[in-house]
Amino acid sequence: MPARDEEATLADPTEGHSAIEYPDDVAEQIDPRFHSLEKTASKEADESLSGVGEKEEVIYVEFEKGDTRNPVNFSRRNKWMIATPAILFTLISAANGSTYALGFDSMTRDLNCTRFQAIIGLSMFTLGFGVVPLVTASFSEEFGRQPLYICSVIGFALMHLMAALAKNIQTVLIARFLSGAFGSTGSTMVGGTISDLWPSYERGLPMAVFAVAAIGGTGLGPVAAGWIEMNPRLEWRWIQWISLILTGAIGLTMVVFMTETRSAVLLTRIAKKTRKETGDKRYRARVEDERADLKTLIYISCTRPVYLLLTEPVLASCSLWLGFAWGILYVLIESITPIFQSLHNFNATPARTLFVWACFAIYLSVFTYLADCYGPFASSALAGQSLCRNLAGMAFPLFTQQMYAAMTYKWANTLFACLAALMIPIPFVLFKWGPTLREKSKFASKVMQKA
């Protein structure tokens, strides 16, 4: 999400321009809530320098202009060779959220489970996708992006294997939750990778490709899965097997072509290598002295998005708007096949025409607006939005069939339409009174003061 979803705009001091970062970049520069944590981190940094000597000057390692070790200076070919596997991971993880639902008919028959039990697997994926990144987002700060990508794609592939071999629905549900957890890297970290590789003025095309993969995968995946389910020799297990094969191919390209792109991690490695080669402990990367420890980063990444979501009217209203749209998207993923089959006698494949592009328009506008509003806190703001969005995607499918059974398709969809109509004023209210709300925010006001 995405992770990011990703999903924020942060200042990049090494390039002197704005850089888009995502929810895995949680160590924003300022946090009005965590003065004590910042002091602790500063104290720990001072202690880490004690071995250097009080009177000796620290030599900070930086990339020189044009340094080919800096990912921004990689060739265009190398940049796309690194970014393409990451974007493909975004595509397959987004598609996996919805392709699962196409196999409900054969799955309930083979595993002797109810349709509602199968639907829970749809919700478990979005739960893992939304909640787990709050804990794992900080790992790239400590270990870099490349190891996290490779571990995630391996775990993601193994969960397809687990689901394909499952003998009961409980195994499928566990696999779905963990699949969402591992697949979330394809949303939350890819935007950060793009910002590592391209300066802001060149980032339009790769970001557009990433956004299309993140949203389009949810709609395009069921098209292929529908044909697989319709083949009596394939059905739901082969939806998982084919996803496993595709994920394995993506993982292989990651191992072959992907290198580390996070500048702070690269500079830390260079500093450590220089200290080892020269024996001079004065060589350090700035992040070694300025970054909080992993425990603190995880604490901030878990609490700050929720705090912002509950206390910031701008974020809460945007999250409500997008969360509702995302919930309706998952309602369609679950219910559009039985609707078209029972009312129009269509099969599963043509019944999968979703309003993905409407969600894409809302997603992109909210993404851009929150990134501009919250500046150095945007990664946490967008992590809060992603949490709300995925929790809605988790909850809506759990009551959809019961709602349609009680109210009929006509009136249940009318209720959804009325709720959507109530949210129409949200962008207009923010357009008119947004600046006033941001002035009163202790987070967004920091950005307005710097503007």
From CA 416, how far away is CA 79, in angstroms rounded?
Answer: 43
Cβ count within 10 A of residue 437: 18
Q: Which range, 3-7, 103-107, 175-179, 375-379, has the best average confidence (pLDDT)? A: 175-179
362 lies in some domain:
yes
Cα 68 from chain centre: 29
Provide φ and ψ at 59, rounded to 5°.
-105, 110
Contact between 388 and 323 under an 8 Å Cβ cutoff? The reply is: yes
State mean pLDDT over 311-340.
83
pTM: 0.77
DSSP secondary-structure letter at 347?
-
pLDDT value of residue 354: 61
pLDDT value of residue 418: 93
169 lies in some domain:
yes
Residue 11 has pLDDT above 50, yes or no: no
Contact between 197 and 74 under an 8 Å Cβ cutoff? The reply is: yes
pLDDT value of residue 56: 66
Write the DSSP assignment of 114-140 as a string of letters.
Answer: -HHHHHHHHHHHHHHHHHTHHHHTTHH
143's enclosing H/E stretch is helix 139-143
Note the maximum CA span of the chain: 82
pLDDT value of residue 10: 33
Contact between 153 and 251 under an 8 Å Cβ cutoff? The reply is: yes
What pairs with residue 18 in β-bridges? 11
Residue 204 has pLDDT above 70, yes or no: yes
Q: What's the per-residue H, E or C state across 193-237? A: HHHHHCCHHHCHHHHHHHHHHHHHHHHHHHHHHHHHHHCCCCHHH
Residue 352 has pLDDT above 80, yes or no: no
Contact between 354 and 337 under an 8 Å Cβ cutoff? The reply is: no
Tens of pLDDT along 224-261? 888 888 888 888 999 999 999 999 999 999 999 999 98
Contact between 104 and 118 under an 8 Å Cβ cutoff? The reply is: yes
Token pair for residue 48? 């880490």
Angle of CA points 32, 37, 43, to nearest 5°: 125
106's enclosing H/E stretch is helix 104-110
From CA 2, how far away is CA 389, in angstroms rounded?
Answer: 10
Q: What's the per-residue H, E or C state across 30-98? A: CCCCCHHHHHHHHHHHHHHCCCCCCCCCCEECCCCCCCCCCHHHCCHHHHHHHHHHHHHHHHHHHHHHH
Q: What is the mean pLDDT of the chain?
A: 80
pLDDT value of residue 179: 94
3 lies in some domain:
no
206 lies in some domain:
yes
pLDDT value of residue 450: 64
61 lies in some domain:
yes
CA distances from 439 to 75, 428, 429, 447 (A): 42, 18, 15, 9
Provide φ and ψ at 63, rounded to 5°.
-75, 130
Q: Residue 303 in 3-state DSSP?
A: helix
Contact between 137 and 6 under an 8 Å Cβ cutoff? The reply is: no
Contact between 191 and 6 under an 8 Å Cβ cutoff? The reply is: yes
Residues 6+ apart with CB under 8 A from 93: 156, 183, 184, 185, 186, 187, 217
397 lies in some domain:
yes
Lowest mean pLDDT among 102-111, 140-149, 416-425: 140-149
195 lies in some domain:
yes
CATH code at position 268: 1.20.1250.20
Range of the domain at 383: 8-450
Q: CA 175, 180, 186, 192: dihedral to nearest 10 degrees?
A: -140
- Banded model confidence at residue 173, pLDDT cuts 50, 70, 90: very high
From CA 366, how far away is CA 372, in angstroms rounded?
Answer: 10
State mean pLDDT over 56-71.
84
Token pair for residue 58? 């620290």
Burial 33-49 (b: 16+ CB within 10 A, else e): ebeebbeebeeebeeeb
Token pair for residue 29? 């520069």
**Number of structural domains the chain divides into:** 1
383 against 183, higher pLDDT: 183
Nearest to 421 by CA among 285, 288, 275, 321: 321
pLDDT value of residue 19: 31
Token pair for residue 1? 């999400």
Contact between 330 and 396 under an 8 Å Cβ cutoff? The reply is: yes
Residue 14 has pLDDT above 50, yes or no: no
Peptide bond into 427 cis (omega under 30): no
44 lies in some domain:
yes
Token pair 């992770």 is at which residue? 3
Q: Residue 292 in 3-state DSSP?
A: coil
